[in-house]
């Protein structure tokens, strides 16, 4: 069973979906227009909630979480808000799972809060030093908030066109329209600067002490394996990479059963290992 509520973090409202009981897992969504915590993670919340307490917020500027006054988002805003949310919920020890932009936020959070973050799962994660803005990510951020824009964007996210259904396009277009003004303020052109903002330094990555699982689609065009996941392996002290063949940018959807199994196994194993938070 999941609940939806708003939590005040540093004086700003944060919309969050919660479910389950047990060790805490924070789920951080990506940056595509119209993305929300519930939209990105509803199936994973169901898969984890029998054994974990799952927290899935909307990042500032997405879904039902407004940008703080004077803010245009960015890695530091999203990282500080995620840490503040877990503190406000009274959760001082937790795993973090982040997709795409959320992967960069998850790694930044682990670097900044080593005593709080027990493990990290980066799914098609951004954050690698020197990673260029891909043409497909640039196009995703530039997608127009209408049916044509939603269809084109989803076609870039998924390898299998079967996921780009009429209902999926309609739902995404509606979400894009609802958040259009906020999104436009966060990712105006030239967009390479926003990709650079989501890049972690080698110092930050070396500060990540929690075990990290990277999950990536072999055919991901938005955050290509070669320029994102592979370079992260050079800078993280305790990382492993699982590559899914015939998979685009959204492994949690295109390979849902295997992804859920990987996630459960890694979280359970990491919770039992002594090399968790604060090591």
Among all residues, which ones are annotated catalytic? 100, 220, 249
Beta-bridge partner residues of 4: 17
User: What whole-number distance in Å separates Cα of residue 90 and Cα of residue 214?
Assistant: 27
Q: What angle do CA 156, 240, 266 make, to 5 degrees?
A: 90
């Amino acid at each position: 069973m999941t609940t939806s509520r708003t939590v005040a973090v540093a004086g700003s409202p944060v919309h969050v979906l919660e479910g389950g009981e047990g060790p805490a897992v924070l789920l951080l969504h990506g940056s595509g227009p119209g993305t929300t915590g519930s939209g990105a993670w509803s199936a994973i919340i169901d898969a984890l909630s029998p054994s974990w307490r799952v927290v899935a917020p909307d990042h500032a500027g997405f879904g039902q979480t407004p940008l703080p006054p004077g803010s245009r988002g960015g890695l530091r805003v999203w990282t500080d808000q995620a840490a503040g949310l877990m503190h406000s919920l009274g959760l001082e020890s937790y795993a973090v799972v982040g997709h795409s932009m959320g992967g960069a936020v998850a790694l930044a959070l682990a670097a900044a809060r080593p005593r709080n973050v027990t493990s990290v799962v980066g799914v098609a994660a951004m954050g690698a030093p020197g990673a260029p803005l891909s043409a497909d990510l640039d196009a995703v951020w530039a997608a127009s908030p209408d049916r044509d824009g939603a269809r084109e964007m989803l076609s870039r996210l998924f390898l299998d066109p079967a996921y780009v259904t009429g209902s999926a396009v309609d739902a995404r277009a509606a979400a894009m329209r609802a958040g259009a003004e906020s999104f436009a303020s966060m990712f105006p052109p030239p967009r390479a600067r926003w990709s650079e903002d989501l890049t972690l330094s080698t110092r930050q990555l070396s500060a990540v002490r929690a075990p990290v699982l990277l999950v990536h689609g072999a055919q991901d065009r938005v955050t290509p394996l070669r320029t994102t996941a592979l370079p992260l392996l050079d800078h993280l002290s305790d990382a492993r990479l699982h590559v899914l063949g015939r998979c685009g940018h959204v492994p949690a959807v295109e390979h849902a059963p295997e992804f859920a199994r990987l996630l459960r196994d890694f979280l359970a194993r990491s919770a039992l290992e002594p090399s968790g938070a604060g090591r």
